[in-house]
Structure 1
Amino acid sequence: MTVSTVEKVVLSASEEDSTLTDRNTHATRVAGKGSDPEKKALFASVTKRVDYSPKFGTELHGLQLTQLTEQQAEELAAFISERGVVFFRNQDDLDDEEHVKLGRRWGPLHIHPLVPHNNKNPEVIVLDSRLSPPGRYNTNNSWHSDVSFEPAPSSYSILQFEEIPEAGGDTVWSNGYQVYDSLSEPVKALLEGLTATHTSDLFRVFQANTGRKTFGKLNDAVHPVVRTNPVTGWKAVFVNSVFTREINDVSPVESKWILDYLNDLVAKRLDFQVRFHWEKNSVAIWDNRSTFHTGVPDFAPYFRRGRRVTVSGEIPFFEQGSGTQAKAFEATAQAIVAKQEAAAKVKEETEAATAAKSA
């Protein structure tokens, strides 16, 4: 690691920055809510759209994130909440300052209590495999939603890798909307009445083992097991294997059974997942309220280095009358089928006309 890299990263809190996380707060508005459902301003600049699956994950070309208008930024927030995670290539002008500027369009930025950060912008956390171990906890191969232990967890995360391994190092996301939609009605009814405790326990263990000082308080929080995304109005499962300690008001055996089952759906249902292969200066932006993600720890002996800003959202809530992605997708699915049938009909008519001419 070069000297300049070392100088840019703060690994442990000093007396001056041991209360940085006191700045953390919750969003006072819901970015993207009420924006144009057709997203005409956003897609006016999009040259290519690639959906990774029918319901989840999209790559957009033609956009520079540093040049979004206010209307485009609002429509992009809504689109991310609908698609779960959105990818961009060649965002080489997204430096630390622009990274912060983009995140603040959608809400206050979170300062992580333990992960190393940029010394000028503590909101910019540094994800450098050279620092682990012992510099940071490694969340590769660990499904989670960013900082769900906070009273107001993250709405959006914006991650860019400036150094990528020659092989490996992908990231995988899982769709919390689909996890919920896959459940039977009796299980949905059970989960909708429950809350779960999310904790910073793994950071407390790491702190005890390393003696590193945190940048502020390590929080715990209680959140609904099923939450409503305020942008889409859709229900999603909101527990994860890294930060969720227990389901409240049930026995320990029942808590383990529920968490094991839901975490298995997140990790093992490939039809709920998309996988992204990073290139230098690629960017992924995802909605933590409705997705889970994990790094893939397959890139040793190579290194990777990236930066992330994490936008603080609202206090999680559940509304009984919330909709679902499955219901909202019905019209889209019908349109896809109609388009396929129309294309098949045109092909059939063209082939018939060609055959008639040849006769």
Structure 2
Amino acid sequence: MNSIYHHIRVMPLTGVLGAEIEGADLTMPLPDPVFEEIEQAFTDHSVLVFRDQDMSIEDQKRFTRRFGEFGFEPYVDTMKEHPEVIEVLKEASESGMLNFGGNWHSDWSFQEAPPRATILHAKEIPPFGGDTCFASMYLAYDTLSDGMKAMLEGLNVMHSARRPYGVGNKLFGKFNRAMKIHNTEEAHAELAHPAVRTVPESGRKALFVNPVYSIRFENMSERESRPLLEFLHAHATRIELTCRVRWAPGTLTMWDNRCVQHNAMNDYDGYRRLLHRTTVRGERPWLEGRAPGGSGEREPALAQSAG
């Protein structure tokens, strides 16, 4: 696959997804031929890792904007001078507490137009631990039986932010944690997305459920939905469908949020971990040949993010 790249070096992390990229300086505006190859690598590998990038926040914002508009960031305070940026922070003093992103999920899947991509730049990293694991939802779909595929392609899933961000939820523990989390009534809203979606750039189908935000199947109760959702969650995150990224200061990792789930490991109590996060706005999830609420042809269309 490297033969198609002339300006960057693409080194796969595993045989299923992920690649490290060399030959791109993200602290500078990227020439179009270099950026086009990065876009191709993103389509090919879903997770890209760039090492030793001494980037400012403005550098990260410029790189993010090359992929599209910024996404909308609900329920978590962003940086005051940079409303597009979340400081993903766990202080050394926050021992025994949950970390932000510490469960398998797809970012903001409860939005009408969930992010196309998430981009994280590492600023302070513990001497061990804090890796991020990624799972391919392309392969999660591909490795299902034909019967299961056919059934899921006719179903919608209700997504909601209520589990982590709903009123009365104390999931994130102490009020004085480093990241400011907001629990609101708005988080209890539900929105339907297809259980299987098409990713426009690749044309491939990806399973689109996750254990944090996928509440139930449309027109079914949570109790009725639970056995199938639990099967899909376990199936989608099998180790053979994953890769793992070990961070270092200056590492930038980006992933296609439409066809990848991720899980931030929480195994570094007593150490500070800080990364800057931006997202790229995506399109409303769609499945080729099927409308969200029924049958019929449908073209991908952008929609305003819920929030």
- Using the size of structure 1 for normalisation, the TM-score is 0.71
Match for residue 146 of structure 2?
A: 185
* 1:63 pairs with 2:33: no
Pairs aligned (count): 279
Residues 248-273 of structure 1: CA deviation (Å, up to 9, x unaligned)? 13354441111101110133x11100
Match for residue 261 of structure 1?
A: 231
* Contact 2:120 2:275 (8 Å CA) reproduced: yes
Match for residue 270 of structure 2?
A: 301
* 1:250 pairs with 2:211: no
Match of 1:226 among 175, 186, 196: 196
* Contact 1:248 1:255 (8 Å CA) reproduced: no
* Contact 1:171 1:275 (8 Å CA) reproduced: yes
CA gap of 1:190–1:144, structure 2 versus 1, over 3 A, is: same
Match for residue 34 of structure 2?
A: 72
* 1:319 pairs with 2:288: yes
Match for residue 131 of structure 2?
A: 170
1:273-284 counterparts in 2 under 5 A? Answer: 273-284=242-253
**Structure 1 gap segments, 5+ residues each:** 1-36, 322-359
CA gap of 1:301–1:133, structure 2 versus 1, over 3 A, is: closer
In structure 2, distance between residues paired with 1:277 and 1:223: 32
* Contact 2:24 2:34 (8 Å CA) reproduced: no
Match for residue 84 of structure 1?
A: 46
Using CA pairs under 8 Å that are at least 6 residues apart, name the structure with larger relative contact order, 1 or 2.
Answer: 2
Give percent identity, aligned residues only: 32
State the secondary structure of the residue aligned to 1:257.
helix
CA gap of 1:197–1:251, structure 2 versus 1, over 3 A, is: closer
The structure in which a higher percent of residues are helix is 1
In structure 2, distance between residues paired with 1:216 and 1:121: 26
Letter in 2 for 1:151: E
State the secondary structure of the residue aligned to 1:294.
strand
In structure 2, distance between residues paired with 1:98 and 1:216: 35
Match for residue 310 of structure 1?
A: 279
In structure 2, distance between residues paired with 1:308 and 1:167: 21
In structure 2, distance between residues paired with 1:237 and 1:132: 38
State the secondary structure of the residue aligned to 1:161.
strand
Match for residue 26 of structure 1?
A: none
In structure 1, distance between residues paired with 2:136 and 2:227: 21
Residues 170-203 of structure 1: CA deviation (Å, up to 9, x unaligned)? 0000000010011000000000000011111021
In structure 2, distance between residues paired with 1:251 and 1:183: 23
Match for residue 157 of structure 2?
A: 196
Match for residue 235 of structure 1?
A: 205
Q: CA deviation at 1:61?
A: 1.4
Letter in 2 for 1:85: V
* Contact 1:89 1:282 (8 Å CA) reproduced: yes
In structure 1, distance between residues paired with 2:60 and 2:208: 27
In structure 2, distance between residues paired with 1:156 and 1:217: 24
Q: CA deviation at 1:320?
A: 4.4
User: 175-184 vs 79-88, which deviates more?
Assistant: 79-88
CA gap of 1:109–1:86, structure 2 versus 1, over 3 A, is: same
In structure 2, distance between residues paired with 1:133 and 1:225: 36
Q: CA deviation at 1:215?
A: 10
Q: Which has the larger radius of gyration?
A: 1
Letter in 2 for 1:275: R
Q: CA deviation at 1:247?
A: 1.1
When the two chains are superposed, the root-mean-square deviation of aligned CA atoms in Å is 2.8
* 1:129 pairs with 2:90: yes
* 1:138 pairs with 2:107: no
In structure 2, distance between residues paired with 1:137 and 1:203: 14
